[in-house]
Amino acid sequence: MALKCPMCSASVAYVKGDPLPPAFPFCGERCKMLDLDNWFSERYVVGRELSDEEQATADVTDMSHDDLVGLVRELQERLGEKVELDDDDGGIEV
């Protein structure tokens, strides 16, 4: 069965019963990370109000600064972007 990658429309081969490919439903890690970046950048949004429970589990503002920096670094490194920390305020610049 061939499916299309939701990011680039490339063919994603899948045989029913076999383990899913690591980046499924995407064609590869790059498209998977680009999709994740779209969510983090709020280019995608949920089409309804989240319940309090959903909001509590989806809110990254409760993450520590170090955890957020680590998450952003990992995403940018996977996308091949240079990450620099600003010494003044700990901000992240690309």
Domain boundaries, the chain: 1-45
Task: Give me the pLDDT at residue 87, please.
Answer: 53
Question: What is residue 81's predicted lDDT score, i.e. its pLDDT?
Answer: 65
Q: Is 34 exposed, middle or buried (0-12, 13-18, 19+ CB in 10 A)?
A: middle
Looking at residue 34, what DSSP letter applies? H
Is residue 62 pLDDT above 70, yes or no? no
Name the architecture of domain 1-45: 2-Layer Sandwich (3.30)
pTM over 0.85: no
Q: What is the mean pLDDT of residues 50-79?
A: 73
pLDDT at 5 over 80: yes
41 vs 67, higher pLDDT? 41
**Coil, strand or helix at 82:** coil
| Separation between Cα atoms, residue 88 and residue 2, nearest integer Å | 50
Which long-range CB contacts under 8 A does 18-26 form with residues at least 24 apart?
none
